Each structure stands twice: as C-alpha cells, then as structure tokens.
Copies of this chain bind each other. A is one copy, B any other.
C-alpha cells in the first residue's frame, strides 16, 4: 500500500532505481534474451507485475538502461579543442575512461554485449551521435598533427585504441583478474593501469622523452 505520509514521488523513484540496478546485474549475467523479468523482480524485491507497471515491457526496461549508460559518457572529452595540450587531453581521456570502467563496469558490459550482437537497439545512435562525436574529436587531433604537436597517426584509430584498451578492464575483468590472480581491482590497480596506458600511448604518439633503448 502507498505510504502517503512520506513524499509520494520518492517511492516511485526508489523502486524504479532498484529495478534498474537489478536489471543491470541480470542483463550482464545472462544477456538480454536470457534475462527473465522474474529474476529481475526477485533481485529488486518487487513483484514481477510491478516491473511491467513501471517500465511497460522488457524492451523499455533495457532501453532505459542503455540511455543511462550513454548519458554517462557524454561528459567525456567535452572540453577538448585545437588549442588544448595533447598530452593533457589524452591523459585525461585515458584516466577518465579507466575510472568509468572501475566505477561502472556493468554499464560497460551491457553496452559491449549490445554492440557485439550487432547493436540491434543502438545502431542508429552509433551511426549518428557517435559517428559525429568521433568525427569532431578526430578533426581536433588532426589539427594537432598539422600544428606539429603530435606525431602523424590516424586519429580515428587512436580513439578506437583508447576505447578498447580502457574498456577491456571493465568488460574482461573476469579474465584480467583470473590471469593476474586477484579477487577484485583495488585503487592501486586502477592507478597502475592508468600509468601504464598513459605512458605507452603518449610515447606512441611521440609525447614522451626519447626511450632509453638500443635501437637497431
């Protein structure tokens, strides 16, 4: 029954968030088709019919999750420009994405599975908003190359490289943790991974001092 004494809108909000959190877990573990509304309901602690009350159907529930995920990523690199310092921008790009993988691993995984399966729900978003985003950022990186600020490398593939290298730690955490024999990531690991990727990618772009190695 509705507890009218305590802010009516808050109940809806709290239930809605519980359901979304439960759905996130289930979709990661079993995929879209493999997730049952019953399992989501059990995990969220509500009756199955209530999920339909809040989200109409399974598609809508899934889409609500995807929208949350995309919204979170729109802040990344919002402020980069042709005048920016490349080393600074790339460093922040890498570290922001690594931190997102650490704080929102499930979001990254759901997005990954959606793309791997052919992006049935996100294809239009990718070919529009995301393509434009990559185009904009690539243009700025190209301008850095033209200014001699960084080495001549393909800007689009540089973006793909940073995406893949950082998301790997969220999407494949099971593999990374098993191989490195850890139970979960610690703050130190995140720091170390950020250092490693910044070091090797900035060096790859010619943004680090010359290496101390005997070249052939």
Interface residues of A, Cβ cutoff 8 Å to B = 28-34, 87, 109, 112-113, 115-119, 123, 126-127, 130-131, 134, 148-151, 153-154, 156-158, 160-161, 163-165, 167-169, 171-172, 174-176, 178-181, 192-193, 196-197, 199-201, 203-216
Contact = CB atoms under 8 A, between A and B. Distances in A.
Nearest to A125: B178
A134 B179 contact: yes
Contacts of A171: 112, 115-116
A116 B115 contact: no
Nearest to A108: B116
Contact of A112 (B112, B127, B165, B203): B112
- Looking at A167, A200, A206, the one whose CB has the most chain B CB atoms below 10 A away is A200
Contact of A179 (B109, B130, B172, B211): B130
- Looking at A123, A165, A180, A213, the one whose CB has the most chain B CB atoms below 10 A away is A213
Copies in the complex: 2
Contacts of A200: 153, 158, 161, 201, 204-205
A208 to B, nearest CB: 8
A131 B181 contact: yes
A116 to B, nearest CB: 5
Given A127-B178, A160-B169, A203-B206, 8 more contacts: A112-B116, A115-B174, A119-B175, A127-B181, A130-B175, A201-B204, A206-B212, A209-B215
Given A148-B214, A175-B115, A204-B203, A160 B168 contact: yes
Contact of A203 (B164, B168, B203): B203
6 contacts: A126-B175, A131-B179, A149-B214, A206-B213, A206-B215, A207-B211
